[in-house]
Amino acid sequence: MAATVVSVQVGQPKWLSWKGRSEPSAIAKSRVEGRVRATAEGLAGDRQGDPIHHGGQFQAVYAYSLEDYAWWLESQGVEVEPPLFGENLTISQLDLRSLRVGQRMRIGTATLAATVPRIPCWKLGAVMGDQGFVERFRGAGRPGAIFGSSKRARSGRTTRSCSNQP
């Protein structure tokens, strides 16, 4: 079975407060339908609350796997569903853990190049209501993948790995 984009999400910065900290964050995403323009800076309609640590040419799009969401429930008893982890793309039938830096994936007319795995900060703990979840997420080995982007991505489109070269 070919990998597919289950959903596309975008968000706008809002103030997030947790345990005495307060910073803008766009971890809360909303699903969008149809084609979404993807540029080197990210998806249309998506902004980052912390542009120093998120976004830009090498961190334009964050993807998380539907199967990894299921893993959280089945093996950890944590009830989560997309896009709780703040991903732009929820993907099915693609093991994002197997991607290497520079590996490319095509979605519709967009080409995404894997740049780094996600390393969550305190904001994921705030969303989960449990700061200890940040360490659990890191230790689970299911970080999702961050990509550099170009052109367009569309929900429901088939994905395929195009190249293992940067």
pTM of the model as a whole: 0.89
Q: Which residue has the tokens 């910073």?
A: 23
Please state which CATH class domain 3-163 belongs to: mainly beta
What is the H or E stretch that residue 161 is in? strand 158-163
CB-neighbour burial class of residue 54 (10 A; exposed 0-12, middle 13-18, buried 19+): buried
pLDDT in tens, 91-126: 999 999 999 999 988 888 888 999 999 999 999 999
CB 24 within 8 A of CB 13: yes
Domain boundaries, the chain: 3-163
Q: Which residue has the tokens 């005495």?
A: 20
pLDDT in tens, 140-152: 999 999 999 765 5
Q: Where are the alpha helices (DSSP H) in the chain?
A: 66-76, 122-128, 132-140
Confidence of residue 3 (pLDDT cuts 50, 70, 90): confident
